[in-house]
Amino acid sequence: MSQVIHIIEHDFRNFLRYKMWLVGLITMNLADLFITAVVYNKVLNPNLTIKNYFSFFAPGLVVTGLFASAFMIGREINMERRREVHHYMLCLPMTRMELAVGRVLSGGMRGMIYMSPLLATCFVFLGLPTLPQFFVILGLLFLTAIGISGLSIAIAVSTSSLEKFVTARGLVYYALFFCSSVFYPLSLIQQLGQEGKFPAVLVTFAEINPLSSTSDTIRSFLLGSPQFSYYSILNVVVFSAIFTLSAAFAYIKIIERK
């Protein structure tokens, strides 16, 4: 366990070195909220159930920020691989599994640290949840962060250049975010599915997407809509378990290759 903590400490120290990164990421996220959401708020379809896009999007922004920061661990691991720092990591006195789990956990925890000001911003604009709701939100966000961190590590060790990593990150971003309820209500995607204008498989993907589950859970607690569902928790737990384990194994297997 102490080895895992050493890895987490190492990654946290690295994280705090990237102050420019953090400022940049926050700027990008706030640009989404204070520009795009403000503009879209003016032109919202009156037939929608949501009446204020700014309020609707604020919980989505928390998930967006969480994704961006939890994905940063992948960028570092990709860089380590390219600069062959991973040989040094592999010769440290700890098991491969401790190394891999430590990195996945640190990626998730860094995501949580970065996301907290965005969550606070969300609370400022939408109001506070009850204490149990607050802990459910934190738990879901942590599990999502670990899952995203695992996903980014799996991509990082599978791509050989920064360009490929950045491109793959974009592809994952578009698939996970655009096919979720982060930017638009799930009911809209389901309605398009019922009209035959959106493939059923993508509707199902949007429904089980952990980013949908996390953002909709925050919305249900802060806005009262959509209704809270225990399936959301199940979705996130399954996502997190799959990607944490697969990332740990991918990290161990691929990083040892010549």
Q: Tell me if 198 contacts other proteins by CB under 8 A.
A: yes
Q: Tell me if 203 contacts other proteins by CB under 8 A.
A: no
Binding part of the chain for other proteins, among 13-21, 133-141, 232-240, 242-250 by CB under 8 A, reads 13-21
Phi, psi dihedral angles at 252 (to 5 degrees): -65, -45
Q: Tell me if 201 contacts other proteins by CB under 8 A.
A: no
CA atoms 41, 134, 12, 245: torsion sign = negative
Judged by CB under 8 A, the chain residues 127 through 166 that form the site for other proteins are 161-164, 166
Residue with tokens 């638009």: 184
DSSP 36: I
In total, the chain counts a number of residues equal to: 258
Instruction: Using CB under 8 A, pick the residue from 3, 12, 32, 246 that binds other proteins.
Output: 32
84 φ/ψ sector (left φ>0, alpha ψ -120 to 50, else beta): left
Q: Tell me if 25 contacts other proteins by CB under 8 A.
A: yes
Burial 135-167 (b: 16+ CB within 10 A, else e): ebbeebbbbbbbbbbbbbbbbbbebeeeeebee
Please work out the total of residues on this chain that contact other proteins, with binding judged by CB under 8 A.
Answer: 46
Q: Tell me if 187 contacts other proteins by CB under 8 A.
A: no
Q: Tell me if 188 contacts other proteins by CB under 8 A.
A: yes
Alpha carbon distance 195, 191 (integer Å): 6
**At closest approach, how far in Å is the CB of 42 from other proteins?**
5
**At closest approach, how far in Å is the CB of 53 from other proteins?**
8
Q: Which chain residues interact with other proteins by CB under 8 A?
A: 18, 20-21, 24-25, 27-28, 31-32, 35-36, 38-48, 51, 82, 161-164, 166-168, 170-171, 174-175, 178-179, 183-184, 188-189, 191-192, 197-198, 202
